[in-house]
Amino acid sequence: MLTGVRRAITGLTVALVLAGAASVSAQMIYAPQSLERYFRLEWQVTRDRKGPAVEGYVYNTSRQTAQRVRVQIQRVDAAGGVVGNSVIWLPGDVPMDDRAYFSASVAEAASYRVQVLSFDWACQGGGGGM
């Protein structure tokens, strides 16, 4: 009886490990530089009575709609070192060959760097039901 339980536990463990490996391998990881082939950014620093803000557009130059797009804004000191960063989510999707607006209040810095940090491709499948 103990051998059967061990086999069941071993089999379950192997199945869970394989399922986890399959889901990890399905994720796509991009280096920030590789995202430049899908996205272009235009942004500027604006100031009002509340302080500085970074605002602009993320252009989706791909042939797919991007969802859950995260943008990273790095604060840079006068020597070129990163002294902090913030991450914002774009509201809604960024359709193919279109753009999405973003705006974020930021702390004062000598300069800023802005890049797309992550995103998901929208499902383009046509699966209807019967």
| Count: domains in the chain | 1
pTM of this prediction? 0.69
80: in domain:
yes
9: in domain:
no
Rounded CA gap, 41 and 90, in Å? 13
Task: Identify the bridge partners of residue 111 per DSSP, sorted by sequence position.
Answer: 76
- Residue 25: the pLDDT is 36
83: in domain:
yes
Q: Is the pLDDT of residue 14 over 70?
A: no
73: in domain:
yes
7: in domain:
no
Residue 109 domain boundaries:
32-121
Phi and psi angles of residue 4, each rounded to the nearest 5 degrees, phi first = -65, -40
**Token pair recorded at residue 25:** 């391998």
Q: Which residues have a Cβ under 8 Å from the Cβ of 109 and sit 6 or more positions away?
A: 52, 75, 76, 77, 83, 84
pLDDT tens by residue, 19-77: 444 434 344 455 555 688 899 999 999 998 999 999 999 999 999 999 999 999 999 99
Rounded CA gap, 5 and 21, in Å? 24
26: in domain:
no
**Token pair recorded at residue 75:** 């604060």
Rounded CA gap, 85 and 129, in Å? 45
8: in domain:
no
CATH of the domain at 107: 2.60.40.1620
- Residue 36: the pLDDT is 84
Find the farthest-apart pair of alpha carbons in the chain and give their distance in angstroms, rounded: 74
12: in domain:
no
CB-facing half-sphere around the CA of 114: CA atoms within 13 A: 21
